Amino acid sequence: MCLTIPAKVIAIEENTATVEFPNIRKEVNIDLLAEVKVGDFVLIKNDVAISCISAEEAKEVFALLGIDAS
């Protein structure tokens, strides 16, 4: 079973984005997402952004995981 984690894109440089999980920042590859932009929420798997999701979907996932994303 695989778990993807939502994160907010806070910066983009070439094919890499800086994303923010609650209280964590990291660099991820965005080659799979042609139109990702700062402010988008993405699903991360193995340091690769694999899909964009809405802010509401991200909040729901954080709530299910018991993570305070405020």
Please give the tally of structural domains in the chain. Answer: 1
pLDDT, tens digit, 9 for 90 and up, residues 22-70: 889 999 999 999 899 999 999 999 999 999 999 999 999 889 888 877 6
Q: ∠21-25-26 over CA atoms, to 5°?
A: 110
28 belongs to a structural domain: yes
Determine the structural domain holding residue 34 and report its residue range.
Answer: 5-64
Gap between the Cα atoms of 61 and 15, Å rounded: 26
Q: Report yes or no on 70 lying in a domain.
A: no
CB atoms inside a 10 Å sphere around CB 18: 16
Q: What is the rounded average pLDDT of the residues 11-29?
A: 94
pLDDT of residue 33: 94
CATH at 10: 2.30.30.140
